[in-house]
């Protein structure tokens, strides 16, 4: 969805005189200050979604003897992926290479700018002549890569070795997150499309899934399906927690889970509305859709649980919120208000099934329901995005001709089929990579702590400390 367009021809932004030299032609566009402020804010909001939001959401769901291990895994994985992103991740995800992997041109963020000269490379948004600073795009996308990796942790908590977490994350990030992000989101940018004759050559430089015309506003495939499937594979390979199905393994603090879910909701405005890459109408639509669909999902989960199980639970309401947020992610700026209602309501009910009926069928100890919420919610959202993108259902359609920036819609069946293919490719890709990455981590250090350490808790055994003094 985005890419730099002025890599080598970095713009001189200091001093008005060099700019005047261009004035005879069309003046070179510079990033809008409001857009820049919004994107910096959004980036910080997505960071908040991981630390502390996701860490608290997950931490509250485990037993108190494993609280710190969850906080620590999220904290360190988030940092690890951020560092890898700036070393090579960004380059392989968001520079031109082939349809699956990017190139080497931005290794160690080479060429994003010259701080001394004040010359900064620009990245594309979704509007012509509306660039953003590439370093802002680098930071924004770094938080996406990092939180996606953190999501996977929920499947394997309370028994995985910390060293195995780190080894797995390096491998999975490199061979699943980066290529899937490249496949879905890399494209030449709107300003490259100046002439109808160039279109097919330009399109061919885009990511594999982008070329199919798949719609993924903020990461239904790249983030949620990608992580959800990797989580499920992990749950199968590492095995069930000791005592699963026999002993009471219940959340130690749903209070923290509620705080985490609420902060996720808050931060998700940066995730979804920020994915518009500008402070514009598309961001505003994504913002309201994110707000509304989540509220719908909370109500749907709560009432469904009340009817089916007899009591509306706090954990259910918090889970409904996350399910709604996940499902509206690919749709955020790609559907209208009717889409937000339907996607939110559907996500609440479908993900409730994902963590109950479907979970029983899968027979895996996906401990914190990463698959049941993120993969199932992500697939629900990705498919419904294809339907509710339709202008007939209040959706905005999508740009079909970037030379003239003209929107259209290929029809519900056609778009739904494209979405389904995007989902399928992501599921298979991440499934295979996750399998290999867990196997390698298992060979190198072993995936699980000993039974004795697991009984006593990971906080003391893996990290040498306790969460609570009692």
- Which residues sit at the interface with other proteins, rule CB under 8 A? 248-251, 309, 311, 313, 315-316, 319, 355-356, 359-360, 369, 372
Query: Would you say 134 or 365 has its CB closer to other proteins?
Result: 365
Between residues 69 and 319, which has the closer beta carbon with respect to other proteins?
319
Hey, is 444 helix, strand or coil?
helix
CB 452 to other proteins: min, Å:
24
Peptide bond into 52 cis (omega under 30): yes
Q: How far is the CB of 310 from other proteins (least distance, A)?
A: 8
Instruction: For the CB of residue 314, give the shortest distance to other proteins in the complex, in Å.
Output: 10
Which CB sits closer to other proteins, 184 or 321?
A: 321
State the minimum distance, in angstroms, from the CB of residue 250 to other proteins.
6
Check if the beta carbon of residue 65 is closer than 8 Å to that of residue 458.
Answer: yes
In whole angstroms, how close is the CB of 322 to other proteins at the nearest point?
Answer: 11
Q: How far is the CB of 305 from other proteins (least distance, A)?
A: 8
- Closest to other proteins by CB, 8 vs 311, is 311
Could you tell me how far CA 52 lies from the centroid of its own chain? 16
Q: Distance (Å, rounded) from C-alpha 110 to C-alpha 183? A: 22
Burial of 25 (0-12, 13-18, 19+ CB in 10 A): exposed
Nearer to other proteins, 16 or 307 (CB): 307
Is the distance from CB of 35 to CB of 278 less than 8 angstroms? yes
**Minimum distance, C-beta of residue 312 to other proteins, in the bound complex (Å):** 11
Whole-number Å distance between alpha carbons of 94 and 209 = 14
Cα dihedral across residues 286, 290, 293, 295: positive or negative: negative
CB-nearer residue toward other proteins: 219 or 316: 316
Listed residue (123, 118, 129) closest to 141, CA to CA: 123
Total Cβ atoms within 10 A of residue 24: 7
At 26, is the secondary structure helix, strand, or coil?
A: coil
Q: Shortest Cβ distance from residue 364 to other proteins (Å)?
A: 12
Q: What span, in angstroms and rounded, lies between the C-alpha atoms of 291 and 296?
A: 9
Nearer to other proteins, 302 or 390 (CB): 302
Q: What does the alpha-carbon distance between residue 409 and residue 415 come to, in Å, rounded to a whole number?
A: 8
Residue nearer to other proteins on the CB measure, 258 or 425: 258
Tokens of 444: 């190198």
């Amino acid at each position: 969805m985005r890419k730099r367009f002025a890599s080598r021809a970095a713009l001189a932004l200091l001093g008005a005189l060099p700019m005047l030299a261009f004035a005879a032609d069309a003046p070179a566009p510079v990033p809008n200050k409001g857009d820049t402020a919004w994107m910096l804010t959004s980036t910080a909001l997505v960071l908040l979604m991981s630390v502390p939001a996701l860490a608290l959401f997950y931490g509250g769901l485990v037993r108190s003897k494993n609280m710190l291990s969850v906080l620590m895994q999220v904290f360190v994985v988030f940092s690890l992926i951020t560092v890898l992103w700036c070393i090579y991740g960004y380059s392989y995800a968001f520079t031109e290479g082939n349809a699956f992997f990017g190139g080497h041109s931005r290794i160690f963020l080479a060429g994003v700018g010259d701080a001394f000269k004040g010359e900064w490379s620009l990245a594309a948004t979704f509007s012509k002549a509306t660039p953003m600073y590439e370093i802002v795009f680098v930071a924004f996308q770094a938080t996406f890569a990092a939180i996606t990796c953190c999501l996977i942790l929920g499947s394997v908590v309370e028994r995985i070795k910390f060293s195995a977490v780190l080894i797995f994350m390096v491998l999975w990030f490199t061979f699943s997150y980066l290529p899937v992000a490249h496949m879905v989101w890399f494209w030449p940018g709107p300003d490259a499309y100046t002439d109808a004759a160039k279109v097919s050559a330009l399109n061919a430089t885009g990511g594999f899934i982008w070329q199919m015309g798949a719609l993924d506003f903020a990461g239904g495939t790249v983030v949620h399906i990608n992580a959800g499937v990797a989580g499920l594979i992990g749950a199968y390979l590492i095995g069930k927690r000791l005592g699963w199905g026999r002993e009471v393994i219940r959340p130690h603090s749903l209070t923290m889970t509620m705080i985490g879910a609420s902060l996720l909701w808050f931060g998700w405005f940066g995730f979804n509305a920020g994915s518009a890459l500008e402070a514009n109408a598309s961001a505003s639509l994504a913002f309201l859709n994110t707000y509304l669909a989540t509220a719908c999902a909370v109500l749907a989960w709560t009432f469904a649980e009340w009817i089916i199980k007899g009591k509306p639970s706090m954990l259910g309401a918090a889970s409904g919120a996350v399910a709604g947020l996940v499902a509206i992610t690919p749709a955020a700026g790609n559907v209208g208000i009717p889409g937000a209602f339907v996607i939110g309501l559907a996500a609440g009910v479908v993900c409730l099934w994902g963590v109950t009926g479907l979970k029983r069928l899968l027979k895996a100890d996906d401990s914190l329901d990463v698959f049941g919420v993120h993969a199932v919610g992500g697939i629900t959202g990705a498919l419904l995005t294809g339907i509710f993108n339709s202008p007939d259902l209040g959706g905005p359609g999508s740009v079909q001709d970037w030379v003239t920036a003209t929107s259209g819609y290929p029809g519900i069946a056609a778009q739904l089929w494209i979405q389904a293919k995007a989902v399928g490719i992501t599921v298979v890709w991440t499934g295979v990579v996750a399998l290999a990455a867990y196997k390698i981590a298992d060979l190198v250090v072993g995936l699980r702590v000993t039974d004795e350490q697991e009984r006593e808790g990971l906080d003391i055994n893996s990290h040498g400390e306790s969460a609570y003094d009692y």
